[in-house]
Structure 1
Amino acid sequence: MIGDTMTLLSLLGRIMRYFLLRPETLFLLCISLALWSYFFHTDEVKTIVKSSRDAVKMVKGKVAEMMMHDRLGGLDVLDAEFSKTWGFKNSNVAVYSIQGRRDHMEDRFEVLTDLVNRSHPSIFAIFDGHGGEAAADYAKAHLPESLRQQLQSYEREKKDGLFSYASILEQRILAVDRDMVEKFSASHEEAGTTCLVALLSDRELTVANVGDSRGVLCDKDGNAVALSHDHKPYQLKERKRIKRAGEGLGAALIWVPLVVQHPFRFPLQRGGFISFNGSWRVQGILAMSRSLGDYPLKNLNVVIPDPDILTFDLDKLQPEFMILASDGLWDAFSNEEAVRFVRERLDEPHFGAKSIVLQSFYRGCPDNITVMVVKFKGAAGTKAGQ
């Protein structure tokens, strides 16, 4: 009896594999059933055929619905696919942000412009949190506003040559990190965030970066100009700094359990090291070498908040637009490819920001993705962001 049952199951399995591997045979079977129903009017067969037709109509209806909602030049996608989306738009700035495949949304962005006094630079910021949302929330709530307050008094103080946009950026970023680390240490909140901030005036663009969010500019000839450089643990400069920070630290101070086996590891003394765990990570944990927050790694001095700051002459570059984005975009696009992609879509409602975010998602990016596109005078005829 058991043998007969096994034989029957085996036969059914072979039949299933046959139809799955040869869909054309299943199609011919459906045609045969339809003809049988037509000539012999078998109610059971007609029921099967009707069910099949209903299923086909349902699929066609879903495809038609997706085509009706296709607003992205070939990307058949509905916004409902994403658990959370954010958008922002004014005359010269557009932002599109999705949670994507992550369980939580840890990206944040901010745009601050002074419509009363246009001599003050506009502020654009991207924060990509990790280990929770607390650090990105804190940076968004405190850094742009403190920058705006400092910049409002800058016109009076710059006559003495004591301040510049670069110095103000550095001071404010370091101050926010100090406050964050002090507050988070007391509450044992281990979250951290990247920080990418751009100050845009009539003739000058100043960009500060901490971490691996990235900015890129499209100049008058369509070339990609890097506005920032990622802070990654594998970079020689960062490796040497982590090694120096680790020298003299006792093993008792290492909060990361060293019993964890790392297949690839640079042993940078007892206190500081980088290891490969899907990507190169400080202490086997953090995939960037600089950040805001991350107080346990700050206590070891292996992660620092110091920004790299670059200044650009807009009269010389005559740029069309710039892109500021979290690393979700840069996992799927190079600088040059992103500039080409957005340049072809500047006439879209979100200046190409939405299209490139969704394209990054469809290329398999597993991260949150936030993209900000800022158009300059040459592209819009007015001052960017105002």
Structure 2
Amino acid sequence: MIGDTMTLLSLLGRIMRYFLLRPETLFLLCISLALWSYFFHTDEVKTIVKSSRDAVKMVKGKVAEMMQNDRLGGLSVLDAEFSKTWEFKNNNVAVYSIQGRRDHMEDRFEAAADYVKAHLPDSLKQQLQAFEREKRESVLSYASILEQRILAVDREMLDKLSANHDEAGTTCLVALLSDRELTVANVGDSRGVLCDKDGNAVALSHDHKPYQLKERKRIKRAGGFISFNGSWRVQGILAMSRSLGDYPLKNLNVVIPDPDIMTFDLDKLQPEFMILASDGLWDAFSNEEAVRFVRERLDEPHYGAKSIVLQSFYRGCPDNITVMVVKFKSGARGSNKAGE
């Protein structure tokens, strides 16, 4: 009963956000009520029409104010709503991240995400350096190194967090750039997409969602189940079927840390840029929309990362939103680079 109530409240909340963030919808409602008022001349309807018009003006003013503040380079309106906003830029990489409508910033400031950030890049870098020194004799590959390091970090994190009864979990999306190849490892529902030389969107990863046939069968074989609570969830809890951390579900073997790894030929694709982003972005944008949006804004200071984050928020995204944009340049293929 409580779950049903929460689902209803969640649905009502989404409906309200839809109306509040889309003044044109309220405007259409005003037109409908106005026609009703004209034909039936009811004072009650006239009052509703006036109130609706006032609401439209208020919401339009609020959105205009937020967009104006952003154009002026400030975040005064957003700062009041986002307790943690984070940005980064270095050479050809830019990141922008906001808490958005969530009560907490889980994309970055959370135990599991912090642990992976602190341990995975360094351990990955060390093994890659060793691999480069012994490349001709090694039986390893970039894909196998990524898989080994991701699984190792998950085991270490499970030992640490479970000892503290910390049930935190995180997605993991890693892009490794070598001379002629891009290798992408993904765990969870963060997603990567690349813009090729013709402006086409090329998926770099595929989300791990409980409703997918492969994942659903695996969960069932492990003795688990999925149920719908706003979205399909493993054991009615987690909205993704693979993650790092989440030790209670790992103990049941219904959630696993195994990454999917894909390799791409850079000479063939000749990419302009790639986007690595948390699921908050993909709640508001398709791969193709995101590529078009960023491609038109590559000359901006954050290569379009900040703009697409804020646009996702304006579209009503209820989640944290983190976006990294990596611009490819002529010298980028001359050395190995890894993006997390």
TM-score by length of 1: 0.68
CA RMSD of aligned residues (A): 10.3
Cα-to-partner distance string for 1:116-149 (whole Å, 9 max, x where unaligned): xxxxxxxxxxxxxxxxx11111111111111011
Partner of 2:41: 41
Of 94, 112, 136 in structure 2, the residue corresponding to residue 159 of structure 1 is 136
Q: Name the CA shift for 1:310/1:278 in 2 (closer, same or farther; >3 Å).
A: same
Deviation at 1:91, TM superposition (A): 1.6
Q: Name the CA shift for 1:179/1:11 in 2 (closer, same or farther; >3 Å).
A: closer
Q: Name the CA shift for 1:176/1:38 in 2 (closer, same or farther; >3 Å).
A: closer
**Distance in structure 1 (CA, Å) of the matches to 2:225 and 2:10:** 56
The runs of 5 or more residues in structure 2 that have no matched partner are none
**Distance in structure 1 (CA, Å) of the matches to 2:230 and 2:279:** 15
**Distance in structure 2 (CA, Å) of the matches to 1:335 and 1:7:** 28
Q: Name the CA shift for 1:162/1:275 in 2 (closer, same or farther; >3 Å).
A: same
Q: Name the CA shift for 1:324/1:180 in 2 (closer, same or farther; >3 Å).
A: same
Deviation at 1:3, TM superposition (A): 45
**Distance in structure 2 (CA, Å) of the matches to 1:318 and 1:275:** 42
Q: Helix, strand or coil: the match of 1:286?
A: coil
CA contact (8 A) 1:321 1:379 kept: no
For the pair 1:205 / 2:176, whether they are aligned, the reply is: no
Q: Name the CA shift for 1:86/1:9 in 2 (closer, same or farther; >3 Å).
A: closer
Deviation at 1:106, TM superposition (A): 1.2
**Distance in structure 2 (CA, Å) of the matches to 1:165 and 1:153:** 12
Cα-to-partner distance string for 1:26-68 (whole Å, 9 max, x where unaligned): 9999999999999999999999999999999999999998676
Cα-to-partner distance string for 1:83-130 (whole Å, 9 max, x where unaligned): 321110112000000011111111139xxxxxxxxxxxxxxxxxxxxx
Aligned length: 337
**Distance in structure 1 (CA, Å) of the matches to 2:24 and 2:276:** 50
Cα-to-partner distance string for 1:249-299 (whole Å, 9 max, x where unaligned): xxxxxxxxxxxxxxxxxxxxxx31011111111001000000001111111
**Distance in structure 2 (CA, Å) of the matches to 1:216 and 1:11:** 30
Deviation at 1:77, TM superposition (A): 6.4
Cα-to-partner distance string for 1:291-327 (whole Å, 9 max, x where unaligned): 0011111111010000000011101000000000000
**Distance in structure 2 (CA, Å) of the matches to 1:238 and 1:200:** 29
Deviation at 1:363, TM superposition (A): 0.5
CA contact (8 A) 1:321 1:373 kept: yes
Name the larger-Rg structure: 1
Bigger drift between 14-23 and 230-239 goes to 14-23
Deviation at 1:194, TM superposition (A): 0.4
Bigger drift between 79-88 and 207-216 goes to 79-88
**Distance in structure 1 (CA, Å) of the matches to 2:14 and 2:202:** 59
Bigger drift between 153-162 and 176-185 goes to 153-162
Q: Helix, strand or coil: the match of 1:158?
A: coil
Deviation at 1:214, TM superposition (A): 0.2
CA contact (8 A) 2:97 2:323 kept: yes
Q: Name the CA shift for 1:272/1:355 in 2 (closer, same or farther; >3 Å).
A: same
Cα-to-partner distance string for 1:336-365 (whole Å, 9 max, x where unaligned): 000000000000000000000000001111
CA contact (8 A) 2:157 2:245 kept: yes
Q: Name the CA shift for 1:90/1:43 in 2 (closer, same or farther; >3 Å).
A: same
Deviation at 1:71, TM superposition (A): 2.1
CA contact (8 A) 1:99 1:367 kept: yes
Partner of 1:384: 338
**Distance in structure 1 (CA, Å) of the matches to 2:258 and 2:3:** 73
Q: Helix, strand or coil: the match of 1:225?
A: strand
Q: Helix, strand or coil: the match of 1:86?
A: strand
**Distance in structure 2 (CA, Å) of the matches to 1:205 and 1:11:** 40
Bigger drift between 178-187 and 206-215 goes to 178-187
CA contact (8 A) 2:167 2:246 kept: yes
**Distance in structure 2 (CA, Å) of the matches to 1:86 and 1:280:** 30
**Distance in structure 2 (CA, Å) of the matches to 1:226 and 1:70:** 30
CA contact (8 A) 2:107 2:322 kept: yes
CA contact (8 A) 1:101 1:367 kept: yes
Q: Helix, strand or coil: the match of 1:160?
A: coil
Q: Name the CA shift for 1:40/1:8 in 2 (closer, same or farther; >3 Å).
A: farther
Q: Whose helix fraction is larger, Structure 1's or Structure 2's?
A: 2
Deviation at 1:12, TM superposition (A): 31
Identity fraction in percent: 92
Q: Name the CA shift for 1:280/1:53 in 2 (closer, same or farther; >3 Å).
A: closer
Q: Name the CA shift for 1:84/1:37 in 2 (closer, same or farther; >3 Å).
A: same
Q: Name the CA shift for 1:72/1:236 in 2 (closer, same or farther; >3 Å).
A: farther
Q: Helix, strand or coil: the match of 2:134?
A: helix
Partner of 1:92: 92
TM-score by length of 2: 0.76
**Distance in structure 2 (CA, Å) of the matches to 1:3 and 1:313:** 47
Q: Name the CA shift for 1:22/1:52 in 2 (closer, same or farther; >3 Å).
A: closer
